[in-house]
A and B are shown apart, each in its own frame.
Chain A
């Protein structure tokens, strides 16, 4: 149990996918203008990460590894994730139209989100078992949501701030992103100390 909590917490805070591993930067910069959209995107990413891990982990363990086909990981995972996202979209449209509407364009966007592919591949590289993989995916998703949410708040303030002319727009956004990333570095040693 303790191990699972360590995996979860380090995925959320220390190895944050956006701010520490620089995966999923595109939605991080693209969809963080409004906090409600950012949270919507974050929640959809959590959902897809969990579903994707639940599908790709058994495929890797029971299909690719026994046949010595580990090198097909990337192409197979992309295929499976793309199909899953499409399936989830059809499912939501039929049974939970309200959620489908609020997720809108973000759902298909997640198909090409490198954070989702990154999580599934990292779960295999870190040699997690199925439960650990699921917890790690949940943590990564939560970390993504946290980063999106915090950054959306910061961008809200940035819009009202009086930035120098040459910094306005994207430059100041990137500077702010780097400072948030530095702030997350502060969590570096926290997990080992917490559970020591």
Chain B
């Protein structure tokens, strides 16, 4: 009886020892030494791997921060101020948080306002839709509504509402993936603050625009004339807002005859 117990105990103990020996040897000879700072920095980063910092992902950015003290600590946009502060605390450096940005789609021509010239039933992709006579809408500058930006978004911040892409500023990490993706270059990063934004990208003259979309900027210059901060300029029949000058008074929004200016809801 006792020798049965002893054999069993010996076999299991021997196997356990062999396994632990294997692991000890493995970690001794094949272990990868990582910089502990890198791990700590990596834990602070959001882990979306969006690439807004200019590195290939959060791991690469953490590695650069840990190894090269000259790497700026404020490159992570999705993380915002909290992340920058946490990284600075670990690295013992000081950096100011970057101004929070959000992506914004400069088109408001939803299915009630836009005039459609064709019915598109092809591949559900903006890039494909654009190749067929520039998309289904009469306006060649507007949102194609197939959601390429929503597909590429890592933060689930974009959805198509009434045929036009809308960014939720609370979710947006300002990584810029959608900016690069949009075939009509409708999306740009704007300050995440209550400022005026233009919801049109059409450079045609007013008369043409009116036939294409109810929401289109007709270039009437009313906003430019009335803006108390001189933040709006109309160039090529399209208003552009200088976000550094804009004080967020909202006068242009109430003045605009077509309603193509709105206040960003941050």
Measured as residues with beta carbon below 8 angstroms from the partner, the interface class of chain A is 20 to 34
A-contact bits for B6-20, CB 8 A (1 contact / 0 none): 011001100110011
CA distance A95 to B26 in the complex (A): 12
A101 to B11, CA, bound (A): 35
A105 within 8 A of B: no
| Given contact pairs A79-B16, A83-B19, A83-B20, A90 touches B11 in the complex (Cβ within 8 A) | no
- In angstroms, Cα B16 to Cα A79, docked, is 7
The total number of A-B Cβ pairs within 8 Å is 47
| Range of interface residues on B (Cβ < 8 Å) | 10 to 19
Residues of B within 8 A of A94 (CB): 30-32
B57 → A minimal CB distance (Å): 9
Question: Quick one: which of A76, A91, A93, A101 contacts B12, CB cutoff 8 A?
Answer: A76
- Could you say which of A72, A87, A95 contacts B11, with CB atoms under 8 Å apart? A72
* Chain A contact surface mostly: helix
Q: Are A69 and B8 in contact (CB under 8 A)?
A: yes
Cross-chain contact B11 with A63 (CB below 8 angstroms): yes
Neighbouring B residues of A64 by C-beta, 8 Å: 11
B71 at the interface (CB under 8 A from A): no
Q: A69-B7, A90-B26, A94-B32 are in contact. Are A75 and B12 (CB under 8 A)?
A: yes
Partner of B19, one of A63, A72, A80: A80
Nearest opposing residue in chain A for B7, CB measure: A67
Contacts A80-B19, A93-B32 given; does A87 touch B26 at CB 8 Å: yes
| Contact of B132 with A by CB under 8 A | no
Q: How far is the CB of A93 from chain B (nearest CB, A)?
A: 5
In the assembled complex, A59 has its CB within 8 A of some CB on chain B: yes
| Residues of chain B lying within 8 A (CB to CB) of residue A93 | 30, 32
> In the complex, which residues of chain A have a beta carbon less than 8 angstroms from the beta carbon of B30?
90-91, 93-95
* Per-residue B-contact encoding for A73-97, CB less than 8 Å = 1, 0 else: 0011001101100110011011101
Indicate whether B151 reaches chain A with its CB closer than 8 angstroms: no
A80 to B4, CA, bound (A): 22
B12 near A87: Cβ-Cβ < 8 Å: no
Q: 10 A-B Cβ contacts within 8 A?
A: A67-B7, A67-B11, A69-B11, A76-B11, A76-B12, A76-B15, A79-B15, A86-B23, A87-B22, A91-B30
Interface residues of A (CB under 8 A from B): 59, 63-64, 67-69, 72, 75-76, 79-80, 82-83, 86-87, 90-91, 93-95, 97, 101
17 other A-B residue contacts (CB within 8 Å) besides A72-B12, A86-B23, A91-B26 = A63-B11, A64-B11, A68-B4, A69-B8, A72-B11, A76-B12, A83-B20, A83-B23, A87-B23, A87-B26, A90-B23, A90-B26, A90-B30, A91-B30, A94-B31, A97-B32, A101-B59
7 shortest interchain CB distances as A-B pairs:
A83-B19, A94-B30, A90-B26, A93-B32, A87-B26, A90-B30, A67-B7
